Amino acid sequence: MNAPDTQTQNLASYNFAYLDEQTKRMIRRAILKGIAIPGYQVPFASREMPMPYGWGTGGVQVTAAIIGRDDVLKVIDQGADDTTNAVSIRAFFAKTAGVATTTSTPDASIIQTRHRIPETPLHAGQVLVYQVPIPEPLRFLEPRETETRKMHALEEYGLMHVKLYEDIARNGRIATTYAYPVKVEGRYVMDPSPTPKFDNPKMHQSEALQLFGAGREKRIYAIPPHTDVVSLDFEDHPFEIQHFDQPCALCGGEQVYLDEVVLDDHGGRMFVCSDTHHCESRRADGHRGALLGDEPGQDKEAMA
């Protein structure tokens, strides 16, 4: 065995939760400002992280700034604990912070997510950390930061309503299905991150604190618990969420968000819960969907 040389030793010594304390302080200050001004995007000096920009660096920095030794962390991507990037981020914190991890939504004190809000209602004391690619809800209407900043300052959101209305004129409905803009506490229009609009109502008056981190774009924002979060709409075209025609094929769950799984090349497909923990715990409780195997309560996936 080769003794590790000094350089590897140096490179291997990172702080608790990776970030140095000065960086954490800077991020913490931004988080506090974000909570105090719900929906306002606080600029912060985002750092390069050991994973690429666009792969959750904002969420990772927020989590790293708030996490403590007693926290229990859950990480999901597309609602699932076992997607590769969720696995990678969970392993990162298990390694750099030595914290306990879980796939159980109620057991987690911090949940970092990309693209979904868990189906199980969150409880007080939990923090939901969103990974955000483009935090500016007006960005695709106006690419210039100098302009969008002015619009937020003046509470001038006409452009957004025009865009949504053009959707209606062209398609007979609002054609935005995810990253559907919301208004927070009657003031800031905010991007909920690319969650399907199905999840928007869960943000409203949530028991949990919701923090949003955009690493590449260097913005942090927040929604405190018990805060009004309203999806933009029109009187004659009220906001509505997606509805699925069938229950989850594995757990029989309804009123949940489903993923379409292609089963074969003859058009066979099925719909299953995107929230893997929700699906598994329902099956553990004896709920059974149409395509679940024979042995009740047996977790088939463990064998794959």
Partner 1 sequence: MTMAPHSSTVYEGGFSDPVGASQAVFRALMNAIARPGSIHAVPHVTTPPAPLMASASALIATLADADTPVWLDPALTKTAAVRDWIVFHTGAPVTDQRSEASFALVAAPQNLSALNGFALGSQEFPDRSTSVILQVSTLTGGTRLTLEGPGIKGQSSLAPDPMPQHFAAQWMANRAVFPRGIDLILAAPGSVAAMPRSTRLIRSEA
Partner 2 sequence: MYVAVKGGEAAIANAHRLLAARRRGDAQVPGLTLEQIAGQLSLAVDRVMGEGSLYDPELAALAIKQARGDLIEAVFLLRAYRTTLPRFGHSEPIDTGEMIVERRISAIYKDLPGGQLLGPTFDYTHRLLDPALAGDAPLEAPETGVDTGEKVTRVSDILGDEGLIEDDPVTDSKRPVADITRTPMEFPMQRDARLQTLARGDEGFLLALAYSTQRGYARSHPFAGEIRIGEVDVEVMIPELGFAVVIGRVKLTECQMVNQFQGSAKTPPQFTRGYGLVFGQAERKAMAMSLCDRALRAAELGEDITAPAQDEEFVLSHCDNVQSTGFVEHLKLPHYVDFQAELDLVRRMRAEHFASAAKADDETDVAKEAAE
- Catalytic site residue from 79, 248, 253, 289: 248
48 vs 235, beta carbon nearer partner 2: 48
- With residue 42 as reference, give the H or E element that holds it: strand 42-43
Measured CA to CA, the distance from residue 285 to residue 49 in angstroms comes to 40
Q: What are the backbone angles phi and psi of residue 210, rounded to the nearest 5°?
A: -115, 120
Cβ count within 10 A of residue 69: 10
State yes or no: residue 204 binds partner 1 (CB under 8 A): no
Query: What residue type is 285 in one-letter code?
Result: D
The answer to whether residue 273 is catalytic is: yes
- Catalytic site residue from 279, 286, 293, 297: 279
Q: Which of 56, 57, 61, 66 binds partner 1 (CB under 8 A)?
A: 66
Asked if 15 contacts 21 with a C-beta cutoff of 8 angstroms, the reply is yes
The answer to whether residue 286 is catalytic is: no
The answer to whether residue 215 is catalytic is: no
Shortest CA distance to 42 belongs to which of 27, 53, 63? 27
Strands (E), 207-302: 209-214, 219-223, 229-231, 258-262, 269-273
142-171 residues in contact with partner 1 (CB under 8 A) are: 149-150, 152-154
> Buried b / exposed e across 210-223, counting CB within 10 Å, b at 16+?
bbbbbbbbbbbbbb
97-126 residues in contact with partner 1 (CB under 8 A) are: 125
Q: Single out the segment in contact with partner 2 by CB under 8 A; choices: 62-70, 99-107, 221-229, 251-259.
A: 251-259
Q: Which of 142, 185, 233, 259 binds partner 1 (CB under 8 A)?
A: 185
The answer to whether residue 297 is catalytic is: no
State yes or no: residue 136 binds partner 2 (CB under 8 A): no
Closest approach of partner 1 to the CB of residue 210, in Å = 10
Q: Which of 53, 201, 233, 288 binds partner 2 (CB under 8 A)?
A: 53
67 vs 249, beta carbon nearer partner 1: 67
Residues serving a catalytic function are 39, 248, 251, 273, 279
